[in-house]
Amino acid sequence: MVAVSDRREFRDLAAPETATAVIEDLDIDPGTETVSLSEARGRVLAERIDAGIDVPGFDRASMDGYAVQAEDTFEADEADPVTLSLAGEVHAGEKPEITVEFGTAVEISTGAVIPAGADAVVMVERTTATGEQVEIRTSVTPGENVMLAGADIGAGTRALGPGTTITPREIGLLSALGVDSVPVRARPTVGILSTGDELVRPGEDLDSEAGQIYDVNSDTIAAGVEEAGGVAKLYPHVADDYDEMERLLLQAAEECDLVLSSGSTSASAVDVIYRVIEERGALHLHGVAVKPGKPMLIGEIGASAYVGLPGYPVSALTIFRAFVAPRIRSAAGKRDPETAVVTGRMAVEERYEEGRRRLMPAGLVRDGAGELLVYPVDKGSGATTSLVDADGTVTVPADTAFLDAGETVDVTLFSPDVRPPRLLVVGEEDPLVSSLLDERDRPRYLPTGTRDGLRSLRDGLPDVAVAAGPLDSTPEAVELGAWSREWGLVVGEDTVIDDLDSLLSGNHTFVNCERGTGLRASLDEQLKRLADERGAALPDLAAEVPGYDRTTNSLEGPARNVRTGDADTGVALRATATNLDLDFVSLGSQPVRLLANPDRTEKAGVRAYGEALDDFDIASFDGFERE
């Protein structure tokens, strides 16, 4: 373990521009290679390719008809056709043995070699064949309906230049030139290591009680590497152990042009990776004045370049996109993708006072007039849902303390094809709402709980808010629909609970929902009623429930804790108990209301959602009834 005195502090954070310059100076150019045409799509040409042959290599007919000497047709028209003798026929793919003499014609197929003596083709639609002769009802000029040799591209002509990205169009040209392999820029090989004692590969068993989490970064960053034009090479995740980290880093450095690690880059006593880089390579930079992503490392190890990414997935992917992906694209010869930037108004105020440039994840939604609204999507760098709930980033300068509601901002989209959701729904988590959204085109659902959902509706952010349970008041809204859902307690095996009273015995461990959710509000309402009957205060009564303050962040969370045996009972919907095959004690029904932003009722996504609810079989959910 690293001694406390050896901790690396972030005293002098580098400017983002400095980090970019240092990464641009890293040598990760893999050179060139030759690949077959079948493997060339998407690759970048390393050298110019000149045509080695004429295309076409012969004068050919550009349509079905008759090869003639143009002079024979000069007097021909519909009223007074010219009659020529048929001398034979020529088909595509055969060498003509016929010569077109004055006064004769040869039947010819599209793509066939123009026979000697002929200098034009009369289209078949302007002719009439009669036995050994053909009537020509139009005049043609020399070269008409004939593609001359080299008309497409002549031998020695520059066909494609270096730096050309090979698409199906280029493959078509190369095929026409007879090219079966091409020199291309080699793709840089990028080794990826995720570090941390707590990591487990997806698909393996996870011990949450031991603090284990799935390794998000390895596959996420690998996908980013491939998208940028590199070849990702995954290595086993490594614990915070100097010797093992050194071994894997050196192995990756021997096998790759660039090594990326995630985690073990912050100023912590258990982080050792910067020591490995310093002792077995060179550390050029440690710490960048940007959020997210302050603890970034840049250096070299062995003969390979190295960049250390933060451990949190949002930070890791944000830093990769902003700093590393452009360098991989450059090494692979790929151009930076077209950047799509849209301008919108901040839907809510966002404060920020950390003195670092911030790359703020942002979501988009259109208001009733079609104007673009921008809202922050920031659950913290450790929240992987921020990766998909956001549409792009807003760059907030280091000297900006806050963004005001209504302020105009630019959003750099994650890709040019990103589009705002057609329907933005926030509020209470509800299985019926989720099912309705499954049938909608490009929706987004942010399950924030009833309280925060109503607050955001009051701020004018969402198209629709979902509110459940007892409500003191609601903001101005248009109700799209309402239903009730039965709620109560899920009960584990060998646990006897008949009602709310038996929960107060102190003999059963309990899991609650978060404050601000409809389930929690309904439970508190019943506990308050019981407290009033006993002449007690709600906090005192709640204290008699072991685990009352133990909460989960999802609707099914308490029930799943009961199912795994981590709790005896928890608050839940009957529908959840049915889905998870758990016993259920009903405590009543609570109303659920679907509330539309009054300025968005004519928005197509809102109208379609309300219409879908009208036709939905609500009773198909256990314990649900239409209001």
Q: What are the pLDDT digits (tens) for 91-149?
A: 999 999 999 999 999 999 999 999 999 999 999 999 999 889 999 999 999 999 999 99
- Map out the domains of the chain as residue ranges: 4-29+188-332, 32-55+152-185, 60-147, 341-420, 437-626
Instruction: Classify 123 as helix, strand or coil.
Output: strand
pTM of the model: 0.77
**234 has pLDDT over 70:** yes
What integer is the mean pLDDT of 566-595?
95
Q: What are the pLDDT digits (tens) for 257-294?
A: 999 998 765 544 336 777 788 888 898 998 899 988 78
**58 has pLDDT over 50:** yes
Length in residues, the chain: 627
Reading the block at residue 101, the tokens are 């003499």
Q: What are the pLDDT digits (tens) for 401-412?
A: 889 999 999 999
pLDDT for position 24: 94
pLDDT for position 379: 63
Q: Please, what is the average pLDDT of the chain? A: 89
Q: How does strand 181-185 pair with strand 32-36?
A: antiparallel
Q: What is the 3 state secondary structure string of 406-445?
A: CCEEEEEECCCCCCCCCEEEEECCCHHHHHHHHCCCCEEE
Percent of the chain with pLDDT over 90: 66
Reading the block at residue 295, the tokens are 């603890």
**The amino acid at 2:** V
**Residue matched to tokens 């390719």:** 49
By CB neighbour count within 10 A (0-12 exposed, 13-18 middle, 19+ buried), where does 580 fall? middle
- C-alpha 286/C-alpha 292 separation (Å) is 14
What integer is the mean pLDDT of 69-91?
94
Query: Higher-confidence residue: 353 or 26?
Result: 26
Return the half-sphere exposure (C-beta side, CA atoms, 13 A cut-off) of residue 550.
18
Instruction: Classify 280 as helix, strand or coil.
Output: helix
List strand residue ranges (DSSP E) for 377-519, in order.
392-396, 402-403, 408-413, 423-427, 443-446, 464-468, 478-491, 510-513
Fold of 32-55+152-185: Molybdopterin biosynthesis moea protein, domain 2 (3.90.105)
What integer is the mean pLDDT of 294-303?
89
Question: What are the contacts of 299-302 at 24+ separation with CB within 8 A?
Answer: 300/26, 301/249, 301/250, 301/253, 301/259, 301/276, 301/277, 302/250, 302/253, 302/254
Return the half-sphere exposure (C-beta side, CA atoms, 13 A cut-off) of residue 351.
1
Question: 39-68: b or e for each residue (b if 16 or more CB lie within 10 Å)?
Answer: ebeebbbbeebebeebbbeebbbeebbbbb
8 A C-beta contact, residue 367 and residue 424 = no
First vs last Cα of the chain: how many Å apart? 62
- C-alpha 257/C-alpha 111 separation (Å) is 49
CATH architecture of 60-147: Beta Complex (2.170)
Q: Which of 45-49, 188-192, 214-218, 484-488 has the lowest mean pLDDT?
A: 214-218
**Residue matched to tokens 């309300």:** 610
pLDDT for position 271: 61
Report in angstroms the alpha-carbon separations of 608 from 368, 486, 577.
14, 27, 31
- Residue 487 pairs in a beta bridge with 573, 588
**344 has pLDDT over 60:** yes
How far, in whole angstroms, is CA 148 from its chain's centroid? 48
pLDDT for position 377: 87
What integer is the mean pLDDT of 322-335?
92
- C-alpha 26/C-alpha 190 separation (Å) is 13
What torsion do the CA atoms of 548, 554, 560, 566 make, to the nearest 10 degrees? -40
8 A C-beta contact, residue 497 and residue 585 = yes
Class of CATH domain 341-420: mainly beta
Q: Is the dihedral of CA 255, 261, 266, 270 positive or negative?
A: negative
Q: Which of 197-206, 269-278, 574-583 has the lowest mean pLDDT?
A: 269-278
Our CA angle for 176, 181, 186, nearest 5°, is 130
The CA R_g of the chain, rounded to the nearest whole Å, is: 36
**62 has pLDDT over 60:** yes
- C-alpha 363/C-alpha 461 separation (Å) is 11
Q: How does strand 49-50 pair with strand 158-160?
A: antiparallel
CATH no., domain 4-29+188-332: 3.40.980.10
pLDDT for position 6: 46
Q: What are the pLDDT digits (tens) for 529-556?
A: 999 998 889 898 888 888 899 999 889 9
What integer is the mean pLDDT of 364-386?
80
pLDDT for position 278: 83
Reading the block at residue 56, the tokens are 């076409």
pLDDT for position 600: 94
Question: What are the contacts of 299-303 at 24+ separation with CB within 8 A?
Answer: 300/26, 301/249, 301/250, 301/253, 301/259, 301/276, 301/277, 302/250, 302/253, 302/254, 303/253, 303/254
What ranges in 100-203 are assigned the alpha helix state H? 168-176
- Select from 148, 179, 150 the least CA-distant residue to 164: 179
**472 has pLDDT over 80:** yes
pLDDT for position 383: 59
Q: What is the 3 state secondary structure string of 529-581?
A: HHHHHHCCCHHHHHCCCCCCCCEECCCCHHHHHHHCCCCCEEEEEHHHHHHCC
- Select from 342, 595, 613 the least CA-distant residue to 463: 595
- C-alpha 401/C-alpha 59 separation (Å) is 72
User: 3-state DSSP helix/strand/coil percent for the chain, to nearest 5?
Assistant: 25, 30, 45
**7 has pLDDT over 60:** no
CATH no., domain 437-626: 3.40.190.10
Reading the block at residue 399, the tokens are 């000297």
**The amino acid at 496:** V
What integer is the mean pLDDT of 167-190?
95
Give the other-Cβ count within 10 Å of 546's Cβ. 17
Instruction: Classify 128 as helix, strand or coil.
Output: strand
